[in-house]
Amino acid sequence: MAACGIRTVRDGLRWHLIETRPNRYDWSSFLPMLRAAQHQGTQVIWDLCHYGYPDDLDIWTPQFVERFARFAAAAAQVVKDEGQSVPFYA
């Protein structure tokens, strides 16, 4: 992509793979993508809910909003801890 001049892309986190139990995060499906993008000098706009959500959540309840907010904050912290600055999340 870089050879074509493309420096910004969009990709999604797999929330349902990252949070298989409430408030317990396994970033192993996300970190390789994050690090590869950094290595290539590619800016990623991370979509936080593109591939769905954990099976135990009902999207029509307040708990969904609370869990999503916690997940979004945790994802932003992981990105920051990896030394990256992401100006946009979707």
Q: Strands, DSSP E only, in 1-90?
A: 8-12, 43-47
| Residue 49 · residue 15 · CB < 8 Å | yes
Residue type for position 12: G
Those residues of the chain that have pLDDT short of 50 are none
Q: Provide the pLDDT for residue 86.
A: 67
Residue 46 lies in a domain: yes
Instruction: Give me the residue label for tokens 């396994």.
Output: 26
Summarised one tens digit per residue, pLDDT across range 44-67 is: 999 999 889 999 999 999 999 999
Residue 89 lies in a domain: no
In the chain, the N- to C-terminal Cα span, in Å, equals 21
Helix (H, G, I), strand (E, B) or coil at 14: coil
Range of the domain at 16: 2-81
- Report how far apart, in Å, the C-alpha atoms of 18 and of each of 3, 7, 40, 48, 55 are: 31, 26, 24, 11, 12
Q: Provide the pLDDT for residue 4.
A: 82
Q: Provide the pLDDT for residue 14.
A: 96
Residue 38 lies in a domain: yes
Q: Provide the pLDDT for residue 23.
A: 93
Residue 87 lies in a domain: no
